[in-house]
Amino acid sequence: MKKILAIIPAVLFGLASCEKEIDIDLNDSDPQIVIEGAITDQPGPYFVAISRSVIFSIPNNYPPVSGASVTITDNGGNTDVLTEVQAGLYQTNTTVGVPGKTYNLNISIDQIDYYATSTMPQKVDLDSLQFEPWLGPNSESNYVALPVFTDPATLGNNYRFLMTINGVKDKRYYVYNDIIGNGLINSRPIFSPDIDLNLDDTVEFEMRCIDVATYVYFNTLSQLSGGGMGVTPANPPNNITGGRALGIFSAYTTQTLTQRVQ
């Protein structure tokens, strides 16, 4: 079956507003390959997970895919044949994550080839993490987190933020671009409707600089999953070509700050 969804990127906190129709195929009878891989600017190894989707009406429990041929090459002429370290999980051996480098993923499963390419952006520094009080939906006084960073003058930077509060991971997707705030000091509030943030709480906050394909993927996931929660649903736009597959292959920079709310 098909379902037409109106995708409206979040306008909260100054994001540009637009509306786009995306045709999402929720075919219950057609399980697909799911590929989720990442390369970061932190020391490796890095991993590519391969599984197979179940029908849409069944809770997400993807069986791993073993025996795949998985290779990563970069634009420096380096080739890395990944090792399967457990069922469906493939590990790099020689790949080094460097901002500005382009990485090509090649996977072969049952004589079907899958390809993905991602260029790691230059790192934008996360300068600090601030907190401000706000009145929550239940009229309770909570706090929001404000990551502070200076966006480069060149347009086209994309970011993903991940937050853990007192050891509990916030499952929502927070992604932004620099359509608003290009070349300026940014401090957009980020809060979770699901986890209260209070005085003396400990926040682990991660900022990732991501490419455009990764931004589109997670922004679409945020809209499809009702505000940003969940795991890989149907088929949001991704950077995987060749055989049909779900998931994303992303090269990104990452940095984390841990701080108490004071």
Q: 29: how many CB neighbours lie within 10 A of its CB? A: 7
C-beta of residue 212 within 8 angstroms of C-beta of residue 220: no
pLDDT exceeds 70 at position 230: no
Band (203; pLDDT cuts 50, 70, 90):
very high
Q: What is the mean pLDDT of residues 30-57?
A: 89
What does DSSP say about strands 174-177 and 158-165: parallel, antiparallel, or unpaired? Answer: antiparallel
According to the model, what pLDDT value does residue 236 have?
83
Question: At CA 118, angle to CA 48 and CA 13, rounded to 5?
Answer: 100
Q: Find tokens 């970011």 and name the residue.
A: 159
Structure tokens at 1: 């079956």
**pTM of the full structure:** 0.83
C-beta of residue 132 within 8 angstroms of C-beta of residue 144: yes
**Structure confidence by residue, pLDDT tens digits, 232-258:** 445 689 999 999 999 999 999 999 999
According to the model, what pLDDT value does residue 137 have?
58
Mean per-residue pLDDT over the chain, rounded = 84
What domains does the chain contain, in order, with CATH numbers? 2-121+231-253 (no CATH), 126-212+255-260 (2.60.40)
Ranges assigned E (strand) in the chain: 2-7, 20-25, 33-40, 47-52, 69-74, 79-81, 83-86, 89-91, 102-109, 112-119, 126-135, 141-150, 158-165, 168-169, 174-177, 185-186, 202-210, 240-242, 245-260
CA distance 256 to 131: 16
**Structure confidence by residue, pLDDT tens digits, 90-137:** 999 999 999 999 999 999 999 999 999 999 999 999 999 999 998 755
C-beta of residue 111 within 8 angstroms of C-beta of residue 138: no
Q: Quote the DSSP letter at residue 147.
A: E
